[in-house]
Amino acid sequence: MYKNILLLIIVSFLFIACSSKSYSLEQRVKIMQKELKKNKNIQKVIYKTDSFDIFSLEYKTNKCNNLDVYIEGDGLSWIRTDKISSNPTPINPLAMKLFLKEKNECSIYLARPCQYIFNNKCKKKYWTSHRFSSEIIKAYNEVLNKIAKNKSIEFTLIGYSGGATIASLVAIKRDDIKLLISIAGNLDTDFWTYTNSYTSLYGSLNPANYTKKLEHISQVHLIGKDDNIVSKEVFFSYYNKFKNKKNIDFMLLDGFTHSKKWLDNWNKILKNIKKNR
């Protein structure tokens, strides 16, 4: 049992694209601020829900009928293999960078709970064992409801890494999802933990348990062939649980790792996806 717990700690540390360099919360926030300087037409918004406050970046427009929603990865969950981070704000906010790269005024970025903010609701379990809990999924649905209030909007959910897990679980609760896109997504968390002998994410939901509800949703899944954090086998475990696969497409991308090559190729990849959907 102790060995399994230790393995979970180690893999969680890898799963957040760890660095040997220590970054304070202030330094990680500055990374975000530096990214924001690239576009003055973007504003920061905090969405308050019943359970969490969700940090958001969005363009200063509200005239969109179709909205791309980027959801961030797990962030800095661990600062050492034996120490949980006091705040999960990411060192490399790849979903944010992809959002900024697209330069689409009809898009929005959503951080994960407690990223870029801190309050009394920020318990460490929400970026470890309960990172995909029903409370968190409910919070994201509340955010989308606020965005869609009194409007006719369809959403394209774009989730990176653990953000893809969130996006999939959010999608099963809604009828306004035009497309679900996962990037290096952990879509079968039980398979991921079991095959590596890690302790289960016991407080979390698993998208692979909801394939019947997901099969009517149009999906495109992007998998890096060289991703050693979330391997292609994790995706295929999810994929093979679907009886009806007609709405599911996937791409295996040569040379892509869990975090590398996505940014440089993102606009081309996204353009091709939208052209064919």
- pTM of the predicted model as reported, rounded to 2 decimal places: 0.90
pLDDT in tens, 139-160: 999 999 999 987 889 999 999 9
Q: What is the dihedral of CA 46, 47, 50, 51, to 10 degrees?
A: -60
Amino acid at the residue 140: Y
Coil, helix or strand at residue 4:
helix
pLDDT per residue, tens digit, the chain (277 aa), is 544 444 444 444 444 444 445 677 778 888 777 777 777 789 999 999 999 999 999 998 768 999 999 999 999 987 876 788 888 999 999 999 999 999 999 999 999 999 998 888 899 999 999 999 999 999 999 999 999 987 889 999 999 999 999 999 999 999 999 999 999 999 999 999 888 777 789 999 999 999 999 999 999 999 999 999 999 999 999 999 999 999 999 999 999 999 999 999 999 999 999 988 7
pLDDT in tens, 180-211: 999 999 999 999 988 877 778 999 999 999 99
Enumerate domains of the chain plus CATH numbers: 2-275 (3.40.50.1820)
Residues 79, 209: Cα–Cα separation, whole Å? 31
Contact 65, 130 (CB under 8 A): no
Residues 138, 143: Cα–Cα separation, whole Å? 9
Contacts of 275 (CB under 8 A, 6+ apart): none
Contacts of 165 (CB under 8 A, 6+ apart): 131, 132, 159, 185, 186, 187, 189, 207
Residues 8, 2: Cα–Cα separation, whole Å? 10
